[in-house]
Amino acid sequence: MSQEEKIKESLVNKFNYLSDSIKIVRPRRISIEVSLENFEQVFAYLAKELQFGHLCTITGLDEPEKLGFIYHLAADSGILINLRTYAPKNNPVIKTVTSYFPGAEIYERELVDLFGATVTGLPVGNRYPLTDDWPTEEHPLRKDWKPKPAKEGEVDKNA
Partner 1 sequence: MHNAPEFKIPIGPQHPALKEPEGFSVALKGEKILGVDIRLGYNHRGIEKAAEERTYIQDIYLLERVCGICSHSHSTCFIQAVEEIAGLAVPSRALYIRTIIGELERIHSHLLWLGVAGHEIGFDTLLMYSWRDREVVMDILASITGNRVNYGMNTIGGVRRDINPEEKQEILNGLKILEERTKYYIEIATQETTIIKRLSGVGVLSREDVLRLDAVGPTARASGVKRDIRADDPYAAYGELSFDVITDDHCDVYGRTVVRVKELMESYKIIRQALEKLPDGPLVVKAPRKIPIGEAISRYEAPRGEDVHYVRSNGTEKPDRVKVRAPTLANVQAVKHMLKDRFLADMPIVIAAIDPCFSCTDRMVHLKEQDCGSDKVINWPSLHTYSIEWHKERGIDFTQLNKKLQERFTR
CB 94 within 8 A of CB 116: no
Q: Which secondary-structure segment (H or E) carries 86? A: strand 80-88
Q: What residues numbered 51-70 form the site for partner 1, per CB under 8 A?
A: 53-57, 59-62, 70
Stretch that binds partner 1, among 9-17, 37-45, 89-97, 128-136 (CB under 8 A): 128-136
Q: Is 107 in the site for partner 1 (CB under 8 A)?
A: yes
Judged by CB under 8 A, the residue of 90, 91, 120, 126 near partner 1 is 126
Q: Considering only residues 26, 148, 151, 157, which one is a binding residue for partner 1 as defined by CB under 8 A?
A: 26
Q: How far is CA 44 from CA 2, 39, 152, in A?
A: 23, 9, 52
**Is the CB of 18 or the CB of 130 nearer to partner 1?**
130
CA distances from 127 to 28, 97, 106, 112 (A): 34, 17, 9, 8
Q: With CA atoms as reference, report the closest residue to 112 among 96, 133, 88.
A: 96
Degrees, nearest 5: CA angle 146-150-156: 115
Residue among 13, 41, 77, 99 that touches partner 1 (CB under 8 A)? 77
Say how many residues touch partner 1, by CB under 8 A: 39
Contact between 102 and partner 1 per CB under 8 A: yes
Could you say whether residue 103 binds partner 1 (CB under 8 A)?
A: yes
Strand partners, 24: 30
Query: What is the contact surface with partner 1 in residues (CB under 8 A)?
Result: 25-26, 28-29, 53-57, 59-62, 70, 72, 74, 76-78, 80, 82, 101-107, 114, 125-131, 140-141, 147
